[in-house]
Amino acid sequence: MKFLFTSFGIWSFTILCLIVFGRRERLCSVAGGLGVISGSLFAIASGVTTLLSNSYECFYLNWNYIGDKISFALDPLAAWFVIPVCGLSLLAAIYAIAYDWDNETGYSKSFSWILFILLLASMVLVICAANGVVFLMAWEVMAVSSFFLVIRDSAHSHSSQDAGWIYLIATHLGTVFLVILFLLAQAQTGSFDFMVWEKQGLNIPNRSLLFLLAAIGFGTKAGFVPFHIWLPEAHPAAPSYISAVMSGVMIKTGIYGLIRSIGWFGAPIPHWWGIAVLVIGIVSGVLGVLFAIAQHDLKRLLAYHSVENIGIITIGIGVGLVGLSYDNAGLIFLGFSGAVLHVLNHAVFKGLLFLGAGSVLHSTEEREIDKMGGLLKRMPLTGVAFLIGAMAISGLPPLNGFVSELIIFISGVHSLLSKDVTIGLCGAAVVGGLALIGGLAAACFAKAFGIIFVGEPRSDKCSKAEESSPLMTIPMLVLAMLCLVIGLSGAWLVAGVAPQIVQNISKNTSLDFAGYQSQLSNALMFVGLTGGLLIVLLALFVLIKKALIKNRTVSYGLTWDCGYTRPTARMQYTASSFAQPFLELFKPILRTRHHYHVHMPDNMFPQGANFHTETPDICHTEVYRPVFLKISEILMKFRFLQHGYIQIYILYIALTLILLLIWKIR
Amino acid sequence: MTISILLKTTISILASLILAPILLGIINRVKAGFAGRVGQPLLQPYYDIFKLLKKGLVYSTTTSWIFRWGTLVSLAVIVCALLIVPCGPFPALISFKGDIFLLVYLMGVVRFITVISALDTGSSFEGMGSSREMFFSALAEPALLLALMGLAKVTDSFSLTSIANTLSATNWFNNGASLALLMGTLFIVLLSENARIPIDDPNTHLELTMIHEVMVLDHSGPDFAVINYISALKLWIFSAIIAPVLFPIHTNNIIADFSVWLSGMVLISIAVGIVESSMARLRLTVIPQFLLGATALAITAIVLTWIG
Amino acid sequence: MKVQLLLILVLLTNLKLLGSSRLGSSIRTVAIQGSLLGLLPLFIELDSLNWRVMTLAIGTVFLKGFVFANLLFRAINVANVNREVQPFAGYVSSLLYGIVALIVSFWLGQILNLGQLSYSPLIIPVSFFGIFSGLFLIVSRRRAISQVLGFLVLENGVFTFGAGIIKMTSLLVEIGILLDVFVAILVMGITVFRISQECDHIDTDKLITLKD
């Protein structure tokens, strides 16, 4: 705990320095970066020590606020979430120094860094809070600071401002559900403290209602379908390193809240909770990846992939919940381990991908995939890092995405092999759903990497792109190395930390996880060994090939073009064409709109033509927009109350006061 | 691991590596027989690979290091995948609970790298092939995994080696319908992943059949030899998954078991040849329905195990 | 055991009907389904065969396998159609519906566990699946012939339920139903032929213009 306080101290001190430094832009950047880095290092240290020692620390401030003490707690589950939050923010801060160095941003550098530190500190506070009021206050600070960061660069762009507003409204609507949940809990138990809720077990007015409130409230932040519509708006609009932090770790605070809330409802939990969460997970995963395939904008594509990966994490949580309701140790252990490990893995590779996208954006000033190409030769380090990130998110061995997906797959098989038909059906759904999600994700990233980084450049800006500065590429390469390391060493992670975390979640000490843990460690050890074997074989084959072609002729020429005399870069396959079979097959869900503009030729030479597809988010256009339009229609009828005369407004205030007086006197 | 087990495993791996291209030869001979020709020699795939290994290389100026070294990465990955599949009575080298998923996703790595190398050439032919390849395999993967799950449910174990060892004639007696349906699904996925009719025509690369063949248009010389060998290994791996279901015979004689298993592999290749010669290629828009039908068969098989 | 096999084959024919678009092969598939179901009472009463069961089985196979198929083939040859055109639900959606209906049918089979009364645990799931498939075919296809086929599949589903549960003597009821269906198919075949002569097509959604 002491380390954590040091972190908060460093961050507060940095904010003070930033306010003092004011206008001196470069100094602000460096100070802000150093502050974030050192604070994060201390926080990571505290998280690691808590995990290694399996301890539980609690800290109370003797400050009676609404009848309770302010309390913070750091247990293995919270520590596991603190580590990616601070780790990714650390790397994003290094990246940010270089990203903003020469840029004209909307705010002054000091304000920008103050907001970043506020975001980071509030995320850590949300995870460590053990009291409802502290939690909600930190939650609010997190939402507001990220809102300001989202609209930072939007001075000239209406769509980015709209994106910021959609984000703010969505996160506040979600928070409303959380506030209702916490107030109901306090009404029942008389306190806002999480420990008290766990001991008593919330069940008034109805456990399922409370669970739904928690699911919707935390789900809005996490990005469950259909509450996800703010994600594809806000993440592209924000500066790239903020998108990395938001997508990689901020939405995980929603997952953290959901997992925490499981302990509040008391055991045993009804069966349908787990099944409902599982269904939400599969739907989010499939819809997220389908919409991702249809996107043209790189950052929007990555935002939809966040929805998909949250879906995968939720599938793991759903399996764990089903296990909790049936008291099945295997499902609990495997489901929650897979979900929690995927939280870390997603933070790593999604952060990597967003930083890579930022690097591409920085060099080419272009966000549309169809205008890029051939960037691997011009930006080799970014390209390699993005390739590793793309392979990791597709769940390809030997990288880290495969490890967590394997754990969730194994949990699905365990369900399938059980005697109970309901559990078995869940298992079949898990395996089928995850297989479909994995296949579609691999297709989407083959498209993204293939069109952006290889081939010929499709626009002038891309042919003149240059590699980003080392401060930007080093964080990406660190994350890429981390992908490989976690992929090879999954067994040790599981053996070391999974039992404590799962124990923390399930709180049932009679269940025996040891058998499942050793089986899983065995499996992951083989995966790691296969990865190692792969690298050895690859080295061997490379040496053989080099020896083989030493005396052969190696000639170069153009790509075979079927005899066409003048091949151009525009003749390459485009991203829209790559995605077309998917859009065609899933038309009822995606409803892609095609826009054609053709100028008919009036002589023998062809005239220009234009083709453009657009895939609006189905939840946005079919569900939210009509509802909100209807609401605003109804509210328009009350417009007559707003007419601008100050005297009448004062009359309203006076009337209200008189009514309150009459009501209280009676 | 005792010496004898190590020796057996090494022999089986070497046998797989050496025998894999024969399956392609068998398929070609069967197709030739149906067409009334004598056809290529059985060992023609070997001759092709050796001929290509002796040639020089031509690279396109558009390509990068991904194209040059991608084939070797694919080869390393598929050799690792081969180590997961049991060969008859010989257990696999890499065997653990859940190795099914490692196998399927290692094939996914091969596919990903092939697609990226294809897009690296900057040609629209390769782009078209890549798009269709990722599309059909995204639909075939759930079918494959659900079929393997069905096998796991029938044998109550989920490692390929233990599935192969547990399958016996009693399983056919008890769950015959499920096993038949699962074999159907696995066969359809084999046809899909190995570019056989009715999904794709391995002989041409015209626009109508641009899926697998066209992705490797620009590879030359030793690279192309490696690609041919990888496709032979892929066919071997998929056949090796189906063979224990076809002939689940376990005597204690290693030679007898291995011969039975090999004959199963040959039988599967002959079946592929027969299917290729008697059907036409499906229209591209019908292939998703075909693969979804395979998934429906797998789900039916799983559901039947709960009743029967 | 043979009963099990028969029922699984019936299930597979239903799946094939959901996913196929060619009218000729659909008619053949329904004919095969009818023949299999005609043989079902035969296999159920395998140890106590008598002339009643044999005649019933042969009669059902003849009626469902050959007569209906012949009538329908004649209808499509006259109306000159051999493919379903743009159904209301695409073939992928039909297969997805089929998978969901399969799971629901098996779940219903678990709940309505009749135990000793049914000859095989597969009877209820297969019959419900037949009913669901038949209903889906009637609702989601445009050509009148496909709707007739859907009706036949529906009747097959009900027949499966009856044949698998009740003992042989009540098959009298089934014979009555079969006669009704025969007359209905005859009438429908003639009507379709007449409609196609009048309107040059047998798309049912174009037939709504008749309401004016």
pLDDT digits (tens, 9 = 90+) for A277-316: 999 999 999 999 999 999 989 999 999 999 999 999 999 9
Q: Distance from B172 to chain A by nearest Cα, in Å?
A: 19
Q: Distance from C111 to chain A by nearest Cα, in Å?
A: 12
Chain B CB contacts of A436 below 8 Å: 138, 141-142
A419 and C CB contact within 8 Å:
no
Highest mean predicted confidence (pLDDT) among A413-422, A496-505, B53-62, B265-274: B265-274
Residues in chain A: 666
Q: How crowded is residue C30: how many other Cβ atoms within 10 Å of its Cβ? A: 26
User: Max CA-CA distance within chain B?
Assistant: 60
Residue B4 inside a domain? The answer is no
Question: Could you tell me which chain A residue has the CA closest to the CA of C106?
Answer: A421
Averaged pLDDT score across all residues of chain C:
78
Q: Which of A2-6, A352-356, A359-363, A654-658 has the lowest mean pLDDT?
A: A2-6
What secondary structure does DSSP assign to A323-344, as a single string? HHHHT-HHHHHHHHHHHHHHHH
Confidence label for C209 from pLDDT (cuts 50, 70 and 90) = low
- For residue B271, the model assigns a pLDDT of 94
Question: Could you tell me which chain B residue has the CA closest to the CA of C21?
Answer: B286
Q: Distance from C84 to chain A by nearest Cα, in Å?
A: 19
**pLDDT per residue over B289-305, tens digit each?**
899 999 999 999 998 88
Tokens encoding A427: 């298992």
Q: Which of A51-55, A281-285, A620-624, C11-15 has the lowest mean pLDDT?
A: A51-55
Q: Which amino acid does the sequence have at A590?
A: L
> Is it the case that residue A387 has pLDDT exceeding 90?
yes
Secondary structure of residue C98 in the 3-state scheme: helix
Q: How far apart are CA A519 and CA B161, in angstroms?
A: 16
Determine whether A209 is exposed, middle or buried from the number of CB atoms within 10 Å of its CB (0-12, 13-18, 19+).
middle
Task: With residue A57 as reference, give the H or E element that holds it.
Answer: strand A57-65
Q: Choose between A559 and A65: higher pLDDT.
A: A559
Name subunits touching C (3+ CB pairs < 8 A): A, B
Residues 583..612 of A with a Cβ closer than 8 Å to C: which?
Answer: 585, 588
* Residues above pLDDT 70, as percent of chain A: 97
Q: How crowded is residue A577: how many other Cβ atoms within 10 Å of its Cβ? A: 16
Chain C CB contacts of B177 below 8 Å: 4-5, 8
* B contact test, residue of A445, A530, A555 with most B CBs within 10 A: A530
Q: Distance from A380 to chain B by nearest Cα, in Å?
A: 10
B234 Cβ partners below 8 Å, 6+ apart? B78, B107, B110, B193, B194
Chain A CB contacts of B150 below 8 Å: none
Expressed in percent and rounded to 5, the helix, strand and coil fractions of chain B are: 75, 0, 25
Q: Residue A573: which of B128, B285, B288 has the nearest Cβ?
A: B128
Q: Distance from B57 to chain A by nearest Cα, in Å?
A: 5
Q: Distance from A338 to chain B by nearest Cα, in Å?
A: 14
Confidence label for A45 from pLDDT (cuts 50, 70 and 90) = confident
- Look at residues B206, B225, B222, B226 and name the one whose alpha carbon lies nearest to residue B214: B206
Chain B CB contacts of A527 below 8 Å: 102
Chain B CB contacts of C11 below 8 Å: 300
Q: Which amino acid does the sequence have at A344?
A: L
A643 Cβ partners below 8 Å, 6+ apart? none
- For residue A85, the model assigns a pLDDT of 93
Q: Do B296 and C91 touch (CB under 8 A)?
A: no
* Dihedral (CA of A214, A215, A216, A221) sign: positive
- For residue A649, the model assigns a pLDDT of 83
Cα A546-A551-A556 angle, rounded to 5 deg: 80
Q: How far apart are CA A18 and CA A32, in angstroms?
A: 7
Q: Residue A450: which of B95, B97, B115 has the nearest Cβ?
A: B115
Q: What DSSP designation does A22 have?
A: T
CB environment A319-351: b (16+ within 10 A), e (fewer): bbbbbbbbebbbbbbbbbbbbbbbbbbbbbbbb
Q: Do C95 and B306 touch (CB under 8 A)?
A: no
> Is it the case that residue C196 has pLDDT exceeding 80?
no
C93 and A CB contact within 8 Å:
yes
CB environment C189-206: b (16+ within 10 A), e (fewer): beebbebbeeeebbeeee
**pLDDT per residue over B211-234, tens digit each?**
788 888 888 889 999 999 999 999
User: What is each CA distance from B20 to B6, B82, B247, in whole angstroms?
Assistant: 21, 11, 19
Q: How far apart are CA A529 and CA A515, in angstroms?
A: 21
Q: Do B119 and A548 touch (CB under 8 A)?
A: no
Chain C CB contacts of B135 below 8 Å: none
* Residues above pLDDT 70, as percent of chain C: 77
- Pairs of residues, one from chain B and one from chain C, whose beta carbons lie less than 8 Å apart: 44
Q: Do C95 and B303 touch (CB under 8 A)?
A: no
Could you list the residue range(s) of the whole structural domain that residue B260 is in? Answer: 10-307
- For residue A143, the model assigns a pLDDT of 94
**pLDDT per residue over A185-231, tens digit each?**
888 888 788 888 888 777 777 888 889 999 999 999 999 988 999 99
Tokens encoding B86: 């049991």
Chain B CB contacts of A538 below 8 Å: 72-73, 76
**pLDDT per residue over A561-614, tens digit each?**
777 777 778 888 888 889 999 998 998 888 888 888 888 888 888 888 888 888
Question: Could you tell me which chain C residue has the CA closest to the CA of A422?
Answer: C107
Taking residues A148-169, report their average pLDDT.
84
Q: Do B59 and A522 touch (CB under 8 A)?
A: no
Q: Do B102 and A435 touch (CB under 8 A)?
A: no
Q: How far apart are CA B159 and CA B85, in angstroms?
A: 10
Taking residues B19-44, report their average pLDDT.
92
Q: Distance from A276 to chain C by nearest Cα, in Å?
A: 17
Chain B CB contacts of A337 below 8 Å: none
Q: How far apart are CA A3 and CA A160, in angstroms?
A: 38
Q: Do A522 and B97 touch (CB under 8 A)?
A: yes
Residue B82 inside a domain? The answer is yes
Name subunits touching A (3+ CB pairs < 8 A): B, C
Is there a contact between A347 and A252 (Cβ–Cβ < 8 Å)?
yes
- For residue A434, the model assigns a pLDDT of 95
Residue B5 inside a domain? The answer is no
Taking residues B164-177, report their average pLDDT.
83
C4 and B CB contact within 8 Å:
yes
Q: Do A397 and B109 touch (CB under 8 A)?
A: yes
- For residue C86, the model assigns a pLDDT of 65
pTM over 0.80: yes
- For residue A179, the model assigns a pLDDT of 94
Q: Residue A397: which of B64, B102, B285 has the nearest Cβ?
A: B102
* B contact test, residue of A573, A574, A584 with most B CBs within 10 A: A573
Q: How far apart are CA A193 and CA A210, in angstroms?
A: 16
Residue located via tokens 């020896």: A547
Confidence label for C83 from pLDDT (cuts 50, 70 and 90) = low
Ordered by start, the domain boundaries in chain C are 2-209
Task: With residue A70 as reference, give the H or E element that holds it.
Answer: strand A68-74
Averaged pLDDT score across all residues of chain A:
87
Q: Distance from A588 to chain C by nearest Cα, in Å?
A: 10
- For residue B206, the model assigns a pLDDT of 66
Question: Count of domains in chain B?
Answer: 1
> Is it the case that residue A640 has pLDDT exceeding 90?
no
Is there a contact between B301 and B182 (Cβ–Cβ < 8 Å)?
yes
Q: Distance from C31 to chain B by nearest Cα, in Å?
A: 21
C100 and A CB contact within 8 Å:
no
Q: How far apart are CA A335 and CA A434, in angstroms?
A: 13
A623 and C CB contact within 8 Å:
no
Residue B3 inside a domain? The answer is no
How remote is the C-alpha of A55 from its chain's centroid? 28
Q: Which of A260-274, B15-29, B56-70 has the lowest mean pLDDT?
A: A260-274
Residue B105 inside a domain? The answer is yes
Expressed in percent and rounded to 5, the helix, strand and coil fractions of chain C are: 80, 0, 15
Peptide bond into A226 cis (omega under 30): yes
Is there a contact between A222 and A310 (Cβ–Cβ < 8 Å)?
yes
> Is it the case that residue C82 has pLDDT exceeding 70?
no
Confidence label for C49 from pLDDT (cuts 50, 70 and 90) = low
Q: How far apart are CA C81 and CA C22, in angstroms?
A: 10
Q: Residue B289: which of C12, C95, C125 has the nearest Cβ?
A: C95
Tokens encoding A142: 């997190």
- For residue B113, the model assigns a pLDDT of 94
User: Max CA-CA distance within chain C?
Assistant: 60
- For residue A73, the model assigns a pLDDT of 84
Residue B176 inside a domain? The answer is yes
Confidence label for C158 from pLDDT (cuts 50, 70 and 90) = confident
Chain B CB contacts of A447 below 8 Å: 131, 134
What secondary structure does DSSP assign to A530-578, as a single string? HHHHHHHHHHHHHHHHHHHTTTS-EEEEPPP-TT-S---GGGSPPHHHH
Determine whether B96 is exposed, middle or buried from the number of CB atoms within 10 Å of its CB (0-12, 13-18, 19+).
buried
A432 and C CB contact within 8 Å:
no
Name subunits touching B (3+ CB pairs < 8 A): A, C
Question: Could you tell me which chain C residue has the CA closest to the CA of A585?
Answer: C92
C99 and B CB contact within 8 Å:
yes
Tokens encoding A527: 């995966």
Q: Distance from C11 to chain B by nearest Cα, in Å?
A: 9
φ, ψ dihedrals at C122, nearest 5°: -85, -10
Q: Which of C31-45, C67-81, C117-131 has the lowest mean pLDDT?
A: C67-81
- For residue B18, the model assigns a pLDDT of 92
- For residue A282, the model assigns a pLDDT of 95
Secondary structure of residue A73 in the 3-state scheme: strand
